[in-house]
């Protein structure tokens, strides 16, 4: 067979293979999306099974209201979650009237929380006695009210920059002397995962029972779009090495 004819036949046979190779990336992406959807379905079904088991075999209460199939119960959470073992305030009689004294003081509840004081001071131009014109002196202060402030979670990038130092005496002789600063080891190689972020993901999943696909939505609202199974698997590998 002439060489030119053989080359034409070979090129004709390779065209279908090349066409299939060009469609591989789209096919792989489609498979990945299918796997992700199936994982979400498994998480949803697992959560539904856990809720059904809890409803069927869990401890019953007169306050518990079974949700209907069409509408979930949203407004009886306080009644369902209320702890009936908490002591009621003690009622004392003092000088002809009733006074309630709670066993749990506010100071005891708030003792572990940091406190930020906002001082409201009298302007300098008003610190003068209107009777004699003398400068007023501070005589005391009082706490008017206290508020519990909620600080929403936020994300920030911690960038480790390593400085290098070299000796100028050996720069031009082919034997440079360079010293680099020590850099802390990362939790996972080639990953943005930090100890705090991975700990938060694990806490949400195993303490608060929040599935990974729901956590991903929260992270997306904060500006990050790639949190989930990879971080969880990586954290297990880290635990094995400890």
pTM summary value? 0.44
Confidence class of residue 72 from pLDDT cuts 50, 70 and 90?
A: very low
pLDDT over 50 (residue 242): no
User: What values do phi and psi take at 75, rounded to 5?
Assistant: -110, 5
Question: What pLDDT shows up at residue 167?
Answer: 85
Question: What pLDDT shows up at residue 12?
Answer: 61
The residues spanned by each domain of the chain are 1-57, 164-241
Question: What pLDDT shows up at residue 161?
Answer: 92
Question: What pLDDT shows up at residue 234?
Answer: 56
Higher per-residue confidence, 122 vs 60: 122
Q: pLDDT for 33-44, tens place per residue?
A: 889 888 888 888
Q: pLDDT for 147-156, tens place per residue?
A: 888 888 888 9
User: 95-99, 172-176, 212-216: which has the highest mean pLDDT?
Assistant: 212-216
């Amino acid at each position: 067979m002439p060489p030119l004819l053989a080359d034409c036949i070979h090129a004709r046979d390779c065209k279908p293979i090349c066409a299939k190779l060009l469609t591989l990336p789209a096919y792989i992406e489609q498979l990945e999306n299918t796997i992700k959807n199936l994982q979400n379905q498994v998480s949803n079904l697992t959560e539904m099974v856990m809720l059904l088991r809890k409803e069927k075999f869990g401890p019953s209460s007169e306050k518990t209201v079974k949700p209907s199939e069409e509408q979930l119960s949203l407004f009886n959470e306080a009644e369902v979650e209320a702890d009936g073992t908490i002591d009621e305030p003690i009622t004392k009689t003092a000088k002809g009237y009733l006074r309630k004294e709670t066993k749990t003081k506010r100071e005891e509840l708030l003792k572990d929380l940091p406190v930020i004081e906002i001082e409201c001071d009298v302007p300098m131009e008003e610190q003068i006695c209107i009777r004699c014109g003398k400068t007023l002196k501070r005589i005391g202060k009082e706490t008017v009210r206290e508020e519990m402030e909620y600080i929403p979670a936020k994300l920030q990038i911690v960038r480790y920059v390593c400085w290098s130092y070299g000796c100028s005496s050996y720069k031009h002789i082919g034997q440079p002397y360079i010293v680099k600063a020590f850099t802390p080891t990362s939790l996972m190689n080639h990953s943005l995962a930090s100890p705090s972020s991975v700990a938060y993901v694990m806490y949400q999943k195993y303490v608060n029972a929040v599935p990974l696909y729901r956590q991903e939505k929260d992270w997306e609202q904060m500006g990050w779009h790639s949190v989930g199974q990879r971080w969880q698997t990586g954290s297990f590998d880290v635990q094995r090495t400890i």
